[in-house]
Amino acid sequence: MREITYAQAVREAMSEEMRRNPNIVFFGEDIGVYGGGFGVSLGMLDEFGEDRIIDTPISELAITGCAAGAAMTGLRPIVEIMFSDFITLAMEPLVNQAAKNRFQFGGQASVPMVLRTPGGSGTGGAEQHSQSLEAWVCHVPGLKVVIPSTAYDAKGLLKAAIRDNNPVVFIEQKLLYCTKGVVPEVGDEYLIPLGKADVKRIGKDITIITYGRMVPRCLKVAGQFSKQGIDIEVVDVRTLVPLDKTCLIESAKKTGKVLVVHEACQTGGYGGEIASTVVDSEAFPYLTAPVKRLCGMDVPIPYNRYLEAQIVPTEDKIAEAVMQLQNY
């Protein structure tokens, strides 16, 4: 199979679905002529035209509200929020309308919309353009939340999200856009079901549960430890909501030691939900050490690139946490 970038995989997923279904429209700031803040939608305006690739005013509230309304009346909108930090401006229609509509009307209505947004730090975007706010949307019943770590997963999960009849928040960690991965040829269609984690590396000594751009970091650390005879299993959650609890629990039972790694700050972070899922399950008697979390620091994201790099789990910090568990 060919190799393409994560960004290309996202664009292919949207384009293929828009060709398949004329009811899919794409809203966002600068997504048309400019091709999106990170170039993800380059060329889509030429193919689909201004009726379906819609450059919007600079109002995340209006963009998301229009998408929710359009979804309720038969369209299947994709929304791009230029930075995930700006979902703070879109929470009312997303949380109070889109997430609740299907429940409110007893399943008679649905809101088939996807809110795509780049998240995470690492680009020097400073405090208002670098946050990881996935825990906010995971807390809202009615929303599905996806964070893919590879080009293959990004395409398969986004296609599944677009076809889902529920609102999906699809977070693309921005440092992954330029990474490459093996993806089937155009025409070889595949979907990855929402709610299925993926064991990216099989191991028997320690389980690392992670997602997004922490996945390649954890895989690199796991490869280094394999030379020392420590066999680490790396589980990529992929879909935070719904969560594949069975995969996490089975891995924890197998290894007896669990490290949860994510970029978002620790307090209130989604790692707490993962940890409690493992502890409050049949995996508990198999654990030989407490479940450990390694998360971002509880501070705003600094502009200084050296400080920015140190407030999230680095390879050295992941390795240190692994050794603490191994020596427990």
Residues belonging to the active site: 129
**SS3 track for 89-157:** HCHHHHHHHHCCHHHHCCCCCCCCCEEEEEECCCCCCCCCCCCCCHHHHHCCCCCEEECCCCHHHHHHH
Q: For residues 76 and 113, is the Cβ–Cβ distance under 8 A?
A: yes
- List residues bridging with 111 in a β-sheet: none
- List residues bridging with 117 in a β-sheet: 171
Q: How many residues does the chain have?
A: 328
Nearest-angstrom CA–CA distance, 81 and 92: 14
Nearest-angstrom CA–CA distance, 2 and 74: 36
Assigned token pair, 130: 């670098």
Which of helix, strand or coil describes residue 265? strand
Assigned token pair, 223: 């490869």
Q: For residues 294 and 321, is the Cβ–Cβ distance under 8 A?
A: yes
Q: For residues 159 and 16, is the Cβ–Cβ distance under 8 A?
A: yes
Nearest-angstrom CA–CA distance, 125 and 105: 41
